[in-house]
């Protein structure tokens, strides 16, 4: 098989990733296209990038020794199908993570117009503190107060329901606020699972 040129490979890669990030193609299609491109390209940098994405797309199960069978339960409060920034607090889909110490006090709003400290982020049930869902920092207004343990954040991102919820939240924010500057180049590529 003849190898693709650098320009053709780059264009195919960017188009493939854009289709996935905007929900046009599925994870299986992404995996198939990237696997094809890995065979069709001989550019070291592009192949390294493809291998990184293929590694991020593999979903491995993480078994937390501290978590019991109910660890990945999520309680839905006031579920709704579609949201917007003008909805009242009682009409917003919220998640409260159950079963692991450190997460049960946080609830996550799917259609939250506030981007600080991250999209998505958690709200402490007892007070006004916010949780950066990626880095684990807890903020009181704009000041860092403390950081949750890494294993708590790893558990959060390994939870299937939270991953689905986070993708939905990010997609909504991308649509509602297209000019928002994300801290990463591809916000829909969420943290990979850690075994």
What integer pLDDT is reported at residue 64 of this predicted model? Answer: 32
What integer pLDDT is reported at residue 91 of this predicted model? Answer: 44
- Is position 181 within any domain? no
pLDDT band, very low/low/confident/very high, at 101 (cuts 50, 70, 90): low
Residues 83 and 172 in one domain: yes
- Is position 62 within any domain? no
- Predicted confidence (pLDDT) at residue 78 exceeds the cutoff of 50: no
Residues 48 and 78 in one domain: no
CB-based contact 136:149 (threshold 8 Å): yes
How many domains does the chain contain in total? Answer: 2
- Is position 66 within any domain? no
* pLDDT tens, residue by residue, 32-60: 888 888 888 887 777 777 777 676 544 33
Residues 53 and 79 in one domain: no
Residues 114 and 162 in one domain: yes
- Predicted confidence (pLDDT) at residue 163 exceeds the cutoff of 50: yes
Residues 116 and 150 in one domain: yes
Residues 82 and 171 in one domain: yes
Residues 78 and 116 in one domain: yes
Residues 40 and 111 in one domain: no
Residues 81 and 166 in one domain: yes
Domain that holds residue 164: 74-176
Using alpha carbons, list the distances in angstroms from residue 195 to 97, 130, 147, 149, 181: 19, 27, 22, 16, 31
- Quote the percentage of the chain above a pLDDT of 70: 74
Provide the CB-side half-sphere exposure for 38 (13 A, CA). Answer: 14
Distance CA 144, CA 167 (A): 25
């Amino acid at each position: 098989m003849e190898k693709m040129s650098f320009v053709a490979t780059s264009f195919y890669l960017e188009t493939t990733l854009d289709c996935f990030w905007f929900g046009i193609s599925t994870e299986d299609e992404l995996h198939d296209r990237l696997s094809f491109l890995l065979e069709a390209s001989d550019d070291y940098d592009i192949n390294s990038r493809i291998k990184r994405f293929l590694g991020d797309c593999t979903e491995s199960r993480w078994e937390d020794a501290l978590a019991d069978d109910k660890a990945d339960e999520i309680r839905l409060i006031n579920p709704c199908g579609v949201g917007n920034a003008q909805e009242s607090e009682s009409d917003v889909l919220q998640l409260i993570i159950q079963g692991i110490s450190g997460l049960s006090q946080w609830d996550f709003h799917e259609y939250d117009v506030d981007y600080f400290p991250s999209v998505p982020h958690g709200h402490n049930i007892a007070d006004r503190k916010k949780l950066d869902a990626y880095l684990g920092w807890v903020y009181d207004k704009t000041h860092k107060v403390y950081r949750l343990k890494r294993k708590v954040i790893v558990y959060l991102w390994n939870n299937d329901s939270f991953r689905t919820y986070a993708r939905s939240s990010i997609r909504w924010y991308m649509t509602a606020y297209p000019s928002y500057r994300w801290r990463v180049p591809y916000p829909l590529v969420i943290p990979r699972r850690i075994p």
